[in-house]
Amino acid sequence: MVDLPVKLVCSGCGSRVSIEERWPFVCPRLGNGGDHVLVCSLDPGILTPAEAQQIFADPEPNPFVRYRRLSYVYHAARARGVADGAFVDLTRRLNAALETSCGTGFSETPFAPNRSLSARLGLVDSGALWIKDETVNVSGSHKARHLFAIVLWLELLELEGVSTRKRRLAIASCGTAALAAALLARCTGREIDVFIPEDAHPAVVAQLEALDAHLTRCPRQTAAVGDPCYLAFRGAVRQGALPFTVQGNQNALTLDGGAPLAYEMVSAALRHAISLDAAFIQVGGGALASSVIQGLHNAQTLGLIQQLPAVYSVQTHGAFPLHRAYTRVAARLSGTGLHPNDIECDGRQTVLEPDPGRDHKIAEALALAPATEIEAALAHAARQRSAFMWPWDKQPRSIASGILDDETYDWLAVVRGTIETGGFPLVVSEETLREAHALARENSEIKVDPTGSAGLAGYLALRRLGILSRTSTYALLFTGIER
């Protein structure tokens, strides 16, 4: 097997994907039980320190050109005979088609301190809330980033003579991801099937229809377990559709596409000579958080940052499968105050109600736990996925509808990332979500929706514990435009 400097490796079983694989979307051993999600593994020697500094200081606005040497898609393409210039030309050509179609292509999105919001929340001059504004990205959210890596791969296959347009694309989504997918599909001349909930917002439905997407409404069935849209999407993939999705367990390239978001944050931090102390990231299916965690890890591997910011994931009381999984992992580790019997006594449906104070103490205990013990617990969780992650047993409801996934599909990477960085999953109330959204709109010109400002709700929830410093620097991701 050719040894690429960026590899696709299964986080569950360690299997690697060959560069000869035409559809490098899922682990070859998927279906054998356990958790099998491919992640991009970066070789430490991929770049010299000078090369890394040059790339992260490069004024090139297109992230898929600028950070291409950190991408699996790029290195696999090069190994398959595509010249660097040809890869760059293809990327620019696809981006130009997006600009023509919707007026916006991919470029570095703003990441800057919000002085008004920081002052409102009592941070002093040496500290600030830094906001990454993804509402100005293609289709108004970060979702198109993830999908563009898949588009690049399909177009590279076309260069090899593989007709990828004969197979329909498929995605399950309640809104922003579907819009991004439909836009990219139309720009590249592909047919797409979009599986949406029965109560999808009429404005979103109208936009999808205008983009010529084929829509299937998926009502919830009381006897069925899990998101009906996701189940229908899986059925379409089994019948031959290509998984054009932001769920990393169904297409690993979506994580390759999301990592540049973190690289842009690191580039901005280097320009301003600041370090990020913590990041609050809203979590639905988990691809956003796992991509950002992966990107931050890669930046540390390259020597660009010394310490990872503490990562706090944010879910709602409407559905918090990630928090449920985190506590089940913590219960297998000594010193956390939890025991497997606390979780398992009534079977797997037992849910430990979120308590930020207790969860903070668990995170402190995990920071002292031996690395070997943590790895053993995570390996066990990967082998026994259904005992840690399964569909929410009630219909999720929240003002932050975009993070109401029945499952956190990329859960293992996010649990690992929160443990390794000293953060933990936060679960916020509807009241806090509304408060955060109001603060975001009153103190910025960013037209963010309640899902997109949910990271701020996580910051507010943790701030009330009295453990956040007024002089630290915190990162928030405003990820979806209010339509």
Query: Distance of CA 187 to CAs 101, 105, 260, Å?
Result: 7, 12, 22
Contact indicator for 418, 299 with CB cutoff of 8 Å: no
Structure tokens at 312: 């706090």
- If residue 196 lies in a helix (H) or strand (E), which one and from where to where? strand 192-197
* Main-chain dihedrals φ then ψ at residue 393, nearest 5 degrees: -90, 0
> Are 404 and 318 contacting, i.e. CB atoms less than 8 angstroms apart?
yes
Taking the model in full, what pTM does it have?
Answer: 0.96
Q: Model confidence over 422-451: pLDDT tens digits? A: 999 999 999 999 999 999 999 999 999 999
pLDDT of amino acid 47: 96
Per-position b or e across 336-371, b if 16+ CB within 10 A of its CB:
bebeeeebeeeeeeebbebebebbbebbebbeebee
User: CA 326: distance to chain centroid?
Assistant: 17
- At residue 345, the pLDDT reads 42
The pLDDT value recorded for residue 335 is: 83
- The rounded distance, in Å, linking the Cα atoms of 51 and 302 is 10
Q: φ, ψ for residue 21 (rounded to 5)?
A: -65, 125
- The β-bridge partners of 112 are 131
* CA dist 156 → 100, 163, 182, 349, 426 (Å): 21, 10, 20, 45, 40
| CA quadruple 371, 372, 374, 379: dihedral, nearest 10 | 140
DSSP state, 308?
A: P
The pLDDT, as a whole number, for residue 353 is 86
Paired residues of 113 in beta bridges: 130
As a whole number of angstroms, the distance between CA 447 and CA 437 comes to: 10
Instruction: Write the CB contacts of 12 (distance below 8 Å, at least 6 apart in sequence).
Output: 27, 34, 35, 36, 37, 382, 383, 385, 412
Phi, psi (degrees; rounded to nearest 5) at 182: -65, -40
Domain 111-139+253-478 coded CATH 3.30.1330.60: no
Residues 414, 418, 423, 429, Cα dihedral to 10°: 20
Do 173 and 200 touch, CB atoms closer than 8 A?
no
Pairing of strands 214-218, 310-316: unpaired
Residue 177's closest CA among 209, 149, 227, 138? Answer: 138
Contact 98, 187 (CB under 8 A): yes
The tens-digit pLDDT sequence of the chain (483 residues) is 678 999 999 988 889 999 899 999 999 888 778 888 899 999 999 999 999 999 999 999 999 999 999 999 999 999 999 999 999 999 999 999 999 988 899 999 999 999 999 999 999 877 799 999 999 999 999 999 999 999 999 999 999 999 999 999 999 987 889 999 999 999 999 999 999 998 888 988 999 999 999 999 999 876 667 889 999 999 999 999 999 999 999 999 999 999 999 999 999 999 999 999 999 999 999 999 999 999 999 999 999 999 999 999 999 999 999 999 999 999 998 888 887 766 654 445 556 789 999 999 999 999 999 999 999 999 999 999 999 999 998 888 899 999 999 999 999 999 999 999 999 999 999 999 999 999 999 999 999 999 999 999 999 999 999 989 989 999 999 999 998
- The answer to whether the beta carbons of residues 374 and 419 sit under 8 Å apart is yes
> In the chain, what is the greatest distance between 2 CA atoms, to the nearest angstrom?
59
